Structure 1
Amino acid sequence: MEIDKLFGLPAHPLLVHAPLVFTPVLLLCVVLLVLKPGLRERWGLPLVGFAIVLAGLCILAAGSGEKLERRVVETALVEEHTELGEQFRNIAIALAALTAAWIGALRYGAGRAWLQRLATPLAALVLLGAVTATVWDVRTGHAGAKAVWKEVGDQPAPVGGEGDGD
């Protein structure tokens, strides 16, 4: 899904902030549910919902990025950001599926030994997926920030005149 503009502004810089914040929060929630099995009954389904929302937000961010990419100068930094963003979107989708499988195995595994045996490996995969998603979140955001701000950061600070605080 591609959204071009929000409130008259390019949508991508606005949409990317949700995955940027939600991904490490999801990681913390996963760690909590892995370490505290007593919380899984109450918080398992909300965790699945949160993972699905994150995947949806990553899809929106990637789609809006594809729209924006068509309007900016193609550079190596933009290309790196685009590739990482596409990978991050795919990781988030896989993480949502793994989270649903893990919680499903926990909720519906009673009386099904094969399903109960899957719960621990699925928990490990969800934890690994959440860590990977967080790493890609940071890498993608950093690459995007470099693509936008590198030239500005390379410029010398203005001396004298307006805006120098004097």
Structure 2
Amino acid sequence: MSFSLINGLPAHVLIVHFVVIFVPLSALAVVVGAIWPSAARRMGIVLPLLGLVTLASVPLATQAGGWLEQHVDSDALVRKHTELGDGLLPWAAALFVLATVIWWTTRRSAAAEPAHRGRARATSSPLSMILRVVAAVLCIGVAAGAVVDVYRIGDSGARAAWHDGFSQTAKGDHGGNG
């Protein structure tokens, strides 16, 4: 399936908004879920579904961007934006995988909890605590990398689209103060 135009506008400039919204939202949800398991349990299946929507939006935006790239003048700014955009898919895939793992592990731990209700709750083992810290650090790293990458891609896209598209002075403004 190829997207080219939506209501006469290049599809890329519309679809990219899904990426701009869902990548940071997924990143935040993954970090919150990793640090606060009860929040992950409350998010439930929404957590991996959010990751899946995020993952699906990236190739759609990239494909629509490929079409747009063929219909604009190519310059260094467009090439840089394209190059940066091609690197987002691994970040989105990592967010999806982490969201799914967090959902799965908190779901399993919630299912095991009723079996342990009658017994005194044992303190977490040192290995368990180390694994939770490592998982949280990994989630924070991937989330930060994904959000920074989206920012860099968006900034380069804005520069490519607008570098010659506006004047720093308003129409009719001739530098006067009055």
| Range of TM-score over shorter length | 0.7 to 0.9
TM-score, normalized by length of structure 2?
Answer: 0.75
Matches within 5 A, 1:60-79: 60-79=60-79
> Distance in 1 between the 2:168 and 2:147 partners?
33
Question: Match of 2:61, as an amino acid?
Answer: A
1:37 Cα shift?
A: 1.9
Partner of 1:148: 161
Matches within 5 A, 1:1-80: 2-80=2-80
Identity of aligned residues (%): 33
Partner secondary structure for residue 151 of structure 1: coil
1:24 Cα shift?
A: 1.9
> Distance in 2 between the 1:102 and 1:36 partners?
10
Query: Tell me, which stretches of 5 or more residues in structure 1 are unaligned?
Result: 111-115
Partner secondary structure for residue 21 of structure 2: helix
Question: CA 1:157/1:123 → structure 2, altered by over 3 Å: closer, same or farther?
Answer: same
Partner of 2:147: 134
Asked if structure 2 preserves the Cα contact closer than 8 Å seen for 1:102 and 1:126, the reply is no
Partner of 1:157: 169
1:56 Cα shift?
A: 0.7
Partner of 2:121: none
1:71 Cα shift?
A: 1.0
Of stretches 68-77 and 91-100 in structure 1, the one that deviates more from structure 2 is 91-100
> Distance in 2 between the 1:120 and 1:55 partners?
25
1:121 Cα shift?
A: 3.6
> Distance in 2 between the 1:22 and 1:156 partners?
32
Asked if structure 1 preserves the Cα contact closer than 8 Å seen for 2:12 and 2:65, the reply is yes
Matches within 5 A, 1:67-146: 67-108=67-108, 121-146=134-159
Aligned length: 157
Question: Match of 2:157, as an amino acid?
Answer: G
Q: RCO higher in 1 or 2 (8 Å CA, sep ≥ 6)?
A: 2
> Distance in 2 between the 1:93 and 1:10 partners?
25
Q: CA RMSD for the aligned pairs?
A: 2.6
More helix by share: 1
Question: CA 1:152/1:107 → structure 2, altered by over 3 Å: closer, same or farther?
Answer: same
Of stretches 91-100 and 51-60 in structure 1, the one that deviates more from structure 2 is 91-100
